[in-house]
Amino acid sequence: MARKGWSLYTQTLLLGLGPALILSFILATYFISARIKDASHELDNKGQLVALQLAASSDYFVLTSNEAIVKPLTKALLDDRDVEYIEIEDINGNLLFSQHDHSSPDMQIARGQLRWYQADIVQYNILMDDEDWFNSQQNQNQQILGQVRIGLSESSVFERQKDILLHALFIALVALFIVGLVAWLSAQRLARPIHLLSNAVKQMREGDYKIRVGVTSSAEVGQLQEGVNTLASALARSEEIQQLYVDSLIKAREASEAANKAKSEFLTVMTHELRTPMNGVLGMLQLLQTTTLNTEQSEYVDTALNSGDHLLGLINDILDFSKIEQGKIELDKHYFNVYDSLLRVVETFRSSISAKGLEFNLDINEIRGLDVMTDDIRLNQVLVNLVGNAVKFTEKGFIRISVREVHISAEQVDFIIDVSDSGKGISADNISRIFDAFQQEDASISRRYGGTGLGLAISRQLIERMGGKLTVNSTINKGSVFSCHFSLPCRVQEGMQPLLADKQLQDVQKFSARVLLVEDNDVNQKVAIRMMSYMGLTVDVASDGIQAIKMANQFAYDIIFMDLQMPRMDGYEAAKTIRTQENINNKTPIIALTANAFFDVKEQCLQVGMNDFLAKPYKKSSLINILNRWLSNPA
């Protein structure tokens, strides 16, 4: 039912006085500004006119220096309230006359606050042309004799401006009172219902849909009040339905989180269960390589090792992707020589490149002698993946590793590592998806070459975690170029450090040291003892943490290798106890041994006092690296 009364349109007309007031204010401001400018212009005109007047009467004074000629005129000018200072000087700038209003207390201070006007003192000479004096053609020659300067006070201008502003303020206050009165009367009729509506909408925004507004106003406002009440009822019904959906989503999310947790726990257990026996398999195979074998046996061992390495690579890819997916992967940043790292990668693939008859090009001297700060293990992982792909997909032609665009500024270096090949290339349609997880260029690749399709996805995310960028440029049947763009902290080496490549690490290196091996697995004990003994180390074995503490209290060791998961007492507690007790090994380097590669345990190891980390299964080269790093007395 329609309500009688003023319409919303009619009431809004009253509020239209606001724009009228704004327009009046703008116009008043404009005219006040114009009046103030006029007052300033009047003073400027007056000063210029006085200067011209005095200049026209001062030519004879400049010629004769008789002050009696100008004093009456200057006195009359100084009687003007605006004129404060008069100066006359000759053409050379010499001051001939100076006079100021003595009513000013200190003209030396006030002089800089005056407005100054000047005019040239000119003498005119009228000459008759001798050749045409009958026509009385006059030529005027003028000569500048000096200059007149008049200093005027701005006090009168300020007073006029003050009067203008006071009048304008008074008019504005009157207008404001009138408009305010009209607005107040309008608010009594219009603003109160709208205010009640606003409060109701605010409460609904805060989730209170039980609020209702009484329909008490005019036609349009009454319809709006009825609409708000209808909206509140609809929102209340919608909230009930939405809550049902939210409850179902919460249950689904809890189920998904439980599934993810179960997956993580499963991967953690499977990581240890898979990597522990693999440590024994790969370790024994490496030891078997050191024995006397015929050609056929050596071929079998090499094949088994390659298959084991491939299987370990697949496990590592899946685990790395899981860690990246959950945001659990962290970089171990430190300074290292990137040139040496590249050479290690080269040595890893030199035999496979040679076996395929590929040409191998290396251009990395531009970065030689430069240390950069990032995670060298993760960088090596990326480069091994890129070079491995290049070798895998190239049947003839070349493989190239190069470093370009090296720019060193302060303690920062920008450079690009390119891994190029002349292989099968990647089509333009597929090049955008090769960095996606579990994706290959086509389905036949995984059948022909193997692989999980995770390598490039992991490589790109690792490089991005290092602050870099991985790009690719490829042409079908012409090859590919994978480019790693880096901007890293750096330092230049004072002298070149010798390269210790994988090939060198595989040579027998002897050490003179006593080692405590803390390991509960019999197979892993045998692998470690044989490897370490082969390197000249004296090895004592403890099967759990309690036995390790006893032996650490009895014998002095050069290094301790500590397994983490053991019965009775784990490696964390054993390492913490050795560090806190007063014993002969509380400063001995402790190296963590674990097959758990899913969660980042390195930080936990460092917190309990361990010095480094060696993941199972490990190769001889990794073990030699650790020994070189922590033993001060290699043989």
Note the pLDDT of residue 103.
Answer: 61
Interatomic CA distance for residues 61 and 354, integer angstroms = 109
* pLDDT at residue 95 in the model: 83
To 10 degrees, the CA torsion angle through 509, 514, 519, 521? 60
Residues 487 and 466: beta-carbon distance below 8 Å: no
* Furthest CA-CA distance within the chain: 140
CA atoms of 412 and 371, how far apart (whole Å)? 11
Q: Quick one: pLDDT at residue 136? A: 44
Residue 231 reports pLDDT greater than 60: yes
pLDDT at 106 over 60: no
Helix (H) or strand (E) holding 605: helix 602-607
Fill in the amino acid letter for 73. Answer: L
pLDDT at 545 (0 to 100): 93
Give the pairing type, strands 559-563 and 590-594: parallel
pLDDT band at 592 (very low <50, low <70, confident <90, very high): very high
Q: What is the value of pTM for the model shown?
A: 0.42
Per-residue model confidence as pLDDT tens digits over 15-37: 666 676 777 778 778 777 887 78
In sequence order, which ranges of 356-467 are alpha helices (DSSP H)? 376-392, 443-449, 455-465
Over pLDDT 90: what percentage of the chain?
A: 12
pLDDT attached to residue 517: 95
**Which tokens hold the place of 338?**
């990137």
Quote the distance between the C-alpha of residue 537 and its chain's center: 49
Is there a contact between 353 and 489 (Cβ–Cβ < 8 Å)? Answer: no
Bridge partners, residue 408, by sequence: 413
Give CA 505 to chain center in angstroms.
41
Model confidence at 137: pLDDT above 80: no
Tokens read off for 537: 């180390």
The pLDDT value recorded for residue 519 is 92
Q: Which of 102-106, 181-185, 210-214, 378-382 has the lowest mean pLDDT?
A: 102-106
Is 88 strand, coil or helix?
Answer: strand
Separation between Cα atoms, residue 45 and residue 407, nearest integer Å:
66
The residue ranges of every structural domain in the chain are 1-207, 209-320+508-635, 334-503
Tell me the mean pLDDT in the region 244-254: 84
In the three-class reduction of DSSP (H, G, I as helix; E, B as strand; rest coil), residue 403 is classed as: strand
Q: Which residue has the higher pLDDT, 528 or 494?
A: 528
Are 472 and 481 spatial neighbours (Cβ–Cβ below 8 Å)? yes
CA distance 558 to 537: 10
> Which residue matches tokens 């998904």?
256
Quote the DSSP letter at residue 132.
G
Per residue in 474-526, pLDDT (tens digit) is 888 888 899 999 999 988 765 444 433 343 444 557 888 999 999 988 888 88
Strand ranges inside 129-278, DSSP E: 138-152
Query: What count of residues does the chain have?
Result: 635
Cβ atoms within 10 A of the Cβ of 549, count? 21
- Secondary-structure percent of the chain, ordered helix, strand, coil, rounded to 5: 55, 20, 25
Report the Cα–Cα distance between both ends of the chain, in Å, rounded. 105
Peptide bond into 617 cis (omega under 30): yes
d(CA 257, CA 262): 8
Q: In angstroms, rounded to a whole number, what is the distance separating the alpha carbons of residues 122 and 131?
A: 27
Candidate from 176-185, 461-470, 603-612 with smallest mean pLDDT: 176-185
Q: Which two tokens stand for residue 571?
A: 């490696």
Extended strands (E) in 129-240: 138-152
Using alpha carbons, list the distances in angstroms from residue 100 to 55, 66, 303. 17, 18, 112
Domain 334-503 has CATH 3.30.565.10: yes
Residue 298, pLDDT above cutoff 60: yes
**φ, ψ for residue 109 (rounded to 5)?**
-85, -45
Task: Answer positive or negative: Cα dihedral of 526, 272, 464, 390.
Answer: positive
* Band of residue 141 on the pLDDT scale cut at 50, 70, 90: low
| pLDDT tens-digit readout, 551-588 | 999 999 999 999 988 888 999 999 999 999 888 998 99
> Is residue 474 a contact partner of residue 425, using CB atoms and an 8 Å limit?
yes
Contact 424/393 with Cβ under 8 angstroms? yes
Contact between 223 and 233 (Cβ < 8 Å)? no
Angle in degrees, 0-180, between the axes of helices 620-630 and 522-534, rounded to the nearest 10: 60
Residue, of 518 and 316, whose pLDDT is higher: 518
pLDDT at 333 over 90: no
635 confidence band (pLDDT: 50, 70, 90): very low
Could you please state the CATH topology (level 3) that the domain comprising 209-320+508-635 is classified under. Rossmann fold (3.40.50)
pLDDT at site 10: 56
Written as one letter, the residue type at 81 is: R
Taking Cα atoms as reference points, which of 591, 604, 529, 531 lies closest to residue 558? 591
**Beta strands of 49-94 (E only): which ranges?**
83-90
Strand-pair partners of 564: none
The contacts of residue 330 (CB under 8 Å, 6+ apart) are: 600, 603
Q: Is 344 left (phi over 0), alpha (psi -120 to 50) or beta?
A: alpha
- Could you tell me where the beta strands, DSSP code E, fall in 410-513? 412-421, 469-475, 479-492
pLDDT at residue 199, rounded to an integer? 75
Which pLDDT band, with edges at 50, 70 and 90, does 268 fall under?
low
Q: Which tokens go with 113?
A: 């606050």
**Mean pLDDT score of the chain, rounded to an integer?**
77
More confident residue, 9 or 250: 250
Sheet holding 138-152, edge to edge: 95-100, 83-90, 138-152, 115-128
Q: What is the pLDDT of residue 88?
A: 86
Give the full edge-to-edge strand order of the sheet including 559-563.
Answer: 538-542, 514-518, 559-563, 590-594, 612-615
CA of residue 145 relative to chain centroid, distance: 70
What is the β-pairing status of strands 398-409 and 359-363?
parallel
**Two tokens at 508?**
């027998």
At 378, phi and psi to the nearest 5? Answer: -70, -40
How far apart CA 634 and CA 50 sit, in angstroms, is: 103
- Using DSSP, state whether 3 is helix, strand or coil: coil
Is a pLDDT exceeding 90 seen at residue 155? no
Higher pLDDT, 78 or 379: 379
